[in-house]
Structure 1
Amino acid sequence: MSVQDSSPILSFDPRRLTLARELQGVRKSDLARSLGVSAVTITHWESGNRNPTKDNVYALALTLGVAPSFLESQFSEAPLISGAPHFRSLRSTTQLSRNQAQAYTQVVQDVVHTMSEYVDFPDLVLPSILTDSDLPGSEIPRLAAEQVRKDWGLGNKPVQHVVRAMENHGIVVVFAPFQSAAIDAYSTFGSEAPVVVLNPTKGDYYRQRFDAAHELGHLVMHADADPGHKVLEAQAHAFAAEFLAPSACIQDELPTVMNGQGWMKLKELKEYWGISMQALLYRAKELGRLSDDAYRNAMVTVSRNGWRAKEPGLISSLEEPSLIPHAISLIEESGVPSEILREKSRVPQHYFEVITARRPVLPVNV
């Protein structure tokens, strides 16, 4: 005969329950149905009005795929992130998906917080050049990109490895889990470090670099701005284009006519600067090298050749995050197994593997 424990658990942290539920992409009503309780009860638990019993906590942990300790308050943990991540389009991103993405960035912070007990991460070198949605035609994206290049010692040469440059200057870069693959890259500031999350299914080297640079633009310019505004997205795009290929270097190189020679030149520039032909075409229009009609005709050619989905290019392998994987290796070499790190961070096994991997990790059920 088993004895049920209906006493309330004193160390229960209601915010961690919300985090666990949102990490799994579960609605309150669905969680309540799985546990055989009312949605109001879940709301009471998450608001801190009532504490679940020990049996409730074990049932919650089992249902949400976390250890019971995940739901407890601890003295040593990364503070919960309050700001929302920057998403490409809030209209096409459901609230459930946004919550799941924000929860994922929190467990990334938990992993970094735990690892920082054993290794020193690079200091953050990131200028703050704030702008807002009231400045659609601003020069700030160009000036911000120039400042980052200056602060990072990049000069006017191509950025050889965008992800590594970001990591070397204190930004944590990880892949998203496959269950969040419907969301493009996104970014947020956390208590431990800024985090950029890359889409695990976008298998294009050139577009991945632009995504990473786009999120870098958000971190530099939009720390205090409400995410999702079209003007902010356009500013981040302008930053990415300038960061990857400075206008002072590329303007005179861009073609003015998209004939055979023009397309050959575009492909050369793509490989040299590591930026897609579509981004270069838009750049040529923005810098006055191509007329609006020439740009539209060029994009018709891009569509006709199937290049919107997959452009021709010499590089097929993605840039890989290395900061966290390298830190894991150093800690393991010092005698601390990664499983100890995972247990201390309280992050579920699959998410820990995704966060600490160099490459996208398939879901556990694949």
Structure 2
Amino acid sequence: MRSGVQGFLGAKLAEARQARGITSRKALADLMQRAASTVIRWEEGETSPEPAALAELSAVLAVPEDYFLTEREGQAGPAFFRSFAGALRGERLVQQIRIVWLEDVAAVAEHYAFLPEVSVPDLLGARSFKTLRDDDIEALAGELREQWGLGLRPIPDMVVLLENNGVVVGSEPMETTQLDGLSRWGRDGRPYVLLASDKQSFARRQFDAAHELAHLVLHRAVSEVEFEENFRLIEDQAHRFASAFLLPASQFGVEIDSITMWELERLKLRWRVSIKAQIMRLQRLNIIDRGLSTRLYKAYSAKGYQSGGEPYDDVWLLQQPSTLADVFKALIDAGQVTKETLCLDLPLFPHDVESLANLPSGWLTMETARVVSLKPEARPRRSEDREQTSKVFQFPNRRDGK
């Protein structure tokens, strides 16, 4: 029988360590001033830490003590990354764990409230993603638009659209330029998307959200091994789907009056898609050839859009997810639970929950305002006295000079 805290899960220790960007067991051991072999035995499940060591792990890794004692059930799908090739393994690993934590937080929200029903179809069914042609992807994007009742009109907010169809969306800094977002199907059968908030704009987030949606509807049956082996193909499919979903060919194509930068700026205002993504879409629809697209990209850079941002990027507010924050705020406002009780229910410390659920920083630890009940139709206490004792004084008419 192992000594130490019963029920300690070495896999959860490894997860918390990696989530904090501590890449090696030795590095964690050094932080705790312990032998590396001790941490190795904990993670391998050979021994368990004593209560004092468990408290130290909680403090160093900033997770509750019972985090290490709580096992997850079920099997989740692989995490699909918006930018996989250039990202370091450690960066990807951190975000893989963050999206798992997003699911943990959502489980608490769903315990208290009904989350939006999942309405994200598996568009491929038993068909392999490897058989998809460009025309198939165009057709599938149109099929999803039809299922969701979007018609051919622009999509004003992709984040709201995802949340309304049962996707749990999180947004937080990923502290790297190599990752834009990731998605996966959770153990609970619900889809999850985590978007980077670093150096983001409204139009870029629109495309990133549509890109992750593509993974959810096209690549649900893809294994992690298949994803790594076919990364370029899978990412290209997601990119093409996002473009077709945001800019349906039969409508966007006929709205082009002239192939000019000014025209693309006008269409950005209508379709909420970046100028750069529009140029790529026009080329793929064979509305423009490679030579014209090259000239447009040069004009794009000459206007400073590549480095300084496009029109409206500094005006449009970044779309923010709200489902989880709305649930937790509603719970507190209704008096169903206190913040203190809610924090005990949550699997992480407040700062992580606030970040993942898009709650204001410090909200979970901020004291809730006391509710005061007012008496109905109460009149001012001294109103009657004032009515009885007040006098009216006549002042001279200054216009008469008297």
Fold match, TM over 0.5? yes
How far 1:246 sits from its partner (Å)? Answer: 0.6
Q: What does 1:233-244 correspond to in 2, within 5 Å?
A: 233-244=235-246
Partner Cα separation in structure 2 for residue 160 and residue 90 of structure 1: 28
SS in 1 for 2:197: coil
Partner Cα separation in structure 1 for residue 170 and residue 220 of structure 2: 19
Partner Cα separation in structure 2 for residue 132 and residue 280 of structure 1: 29
Q: Give the 3 Å change call, closer, same or farther, for CA 111–321 of structure 1 in structure 2.
A: same
- Name the counterpart of 1:254: 256
SS in 2 for 1:188: strand
Partner Cα separation in structure 2 for residue 222 and residue 360 of structure 1: 35
SS in 1 for 2:212: helix
Contact 2:325-2:357 at 8 Å conserved across structures: yes
How far 1:80 sits from its partner (Å)? Answer: 6.8
- Name the counterpart of 1:3: none
Q: What does 1:276-287 correspond to in 2, within 5 Å?
A: 276-287=274-285
Q: Give the 3 Å change call, closer, same or farther, for CA 153–291 of structure 1 in structure 2.
A: same
Contact 1:14-1:45 at 8 Å conserved across structures: yes
- Name the counterpart of 1:293: 291
Q: Give the 3 Å change call, closer, same or farther, for CA 277–88 of structure 1 in structure 2.
A: same
How far 1:263 sits from its partner (Å)? Answer: 2.1
Aligned mate of 1:17, from 13, 16, 27: 13
Q: Give the 3 Å change call, closer, same or farther, for CA 175–239 of structure 1 in structure 2.
A: same
Partner Cα separation in structure 1 for residue 69 and residue 212 of structure 2: 33
Q: Give the 3 Å change call, closer, same or farther, for CA 275–7 of structure 1 in structure 2.
A: same
How far 1:239 sits from its partner (Å)? Answer: 0.9
- Name the counterpart of 2:85: 91
Partner Cα separation in structure 2 for residue 274 and residue 360 of structure 1: 29
How far 1:29 sits from its partner (Å)? Answer: 2.1
How far 1:181 sits from its partner (Å)? Answer: 6.4
Sequence identity of aligned pairs in percent?
A: 27
Partner Cα separation in structure 1 for residue 26 and residue 76 of structure 2: 24
SS in 1 for 2:170: strand
How far 1:300 sits from its partner (Å)? Answer: 1.1
**TM-score in terms of structure 2 length:** 0.80
- Name the counterpart of 2:207: 210
Contact 1:325-1:358 at 8 Å conserved across structures: yes
The answer for unaligned runs of 5 or more in structure 2 is 363-402
How far 1:250 sits from its partner (Å)? Answer: 1.2
Which moved further from structure 2: 186-195 or 229-238? 186-195
- Name the counterpart of 2:169: 173
SS in 2 for 1:90: coil
- Name the counterpart of 2:385: none
Q: Give the 3 Å change call, closer, same or farther, for CA 180–162 of structure 1 in structure 2.
A: same
Task: Letter of the 1:313 partner, please give it.
Answer: Y
How far 1:337 sits from its partner (Å)? Answer: 2.8
Cα offsets for 1:33-78 (capped at 9, x unmatched): 212334343233223232222222122111111121211126xxx5
- Name the counterpart of 1:58: 55
Q: Give the 3 Å change call, closer, same or farther, for CA 116–251 of structure 1 in structure 2.
A: same
How far 1:84 sits from its partner (Å)? Answer: 3.2
Partner Cα separation in structure 1 for residue 138 and residue 14 of structure 2: 40
Which moved further from structure 2: 33-42 or 169-178? 33-42
Contact 2:83-2:181 at 8 Å conserved across structures: no
Task: Letter of the 1:97 partner, please give it.
Answer: E
Cα offsets for 1:298-344 (capped at 9, x unmatched): 11111122212311127421111121111112211232134432321
Q: What does 1:259-270 correspond to in 2, within 5 Å?
A: 262-270=260-268
Which moved further from structure 2: 192-201 or 171-180? 171-180
Partner Cα separation in structure 2 for residue 339 and residue 97 of structure 1: 33
Partner Cα separation in structure 1 for residue 50 and residue 74 of structure 2: 24
- Name the counterpart of 1:323: 323
The answer for unaligned runs of 5 or more in structure 1 is 1-5, 362-366
Answering whether residue 44 of structure 2 is matched by residue 43 of structure 1, we say no
Cα offsets for 1:63-102 (capped at 9, x unmatched): 111121211126xxx5376433111333311121111111
Partner Cα separation in structure 2 for residue 135 and residue 301 of structure 1: 37
- Name the counterpart of 1:79: 73
Q: Which has the higher contact order (CA 8 A, sep 6+)?
A: 1
Contact 1:175-1:359 at 8 Å conserved across structures: no
Partner Cα separation in structure 1 for residue 344 and residue 141 of structure 2: 40
Q: Give the 3 Å change call, closer, same or farther, for CA 176–147 of structure 1 in structure 2.
A: same
**TM-score in terms of structure 1 length:** 0.88
Contact 1:125-1:151 at 8 Å conserved across structures: no
Partner Cα separation in structure 2 for residue 181 and residue 54 of structure 1: 40
Task: Letter of the 2:88 partner, please give it.
Answer: T
Cα offsets for 1:243-293 (capped at 9, x unmatched): 1111111122336x64xxx22221221111110111111111111111111
Task: Letter of the 2:167 partner, please give it.
Answer: I
How far 1:147 sits from its partner (Å)? Answer: 2.1
SS in 1 for 2:306: coil
- Name the counterpart of 1:141: 137
Contact 1:129-1:144 at 8 Å conserved across structures: yes
Partner Cα separation in structure 2 for residue 15 and residue 127 of structure 1: 32
Task: Letter of the 1:217 partner, please give it.
Answer: A
Contact 1:176-1:360 at 8 Å conserved across structures: no
- Name the counterpart of 1:364: none
Q: What does 1:304-343 correspond to in 2, within 5 Å?
A: 304-309=302-307, 310-313=309-312, 315-335=315-335, 336-343=337-344
Contact 1:127-1:147 at 8 Å conserved across structures: no
- Name the counterpart of 2:397: none
CA RMSD of aligned residues (A): 2.4
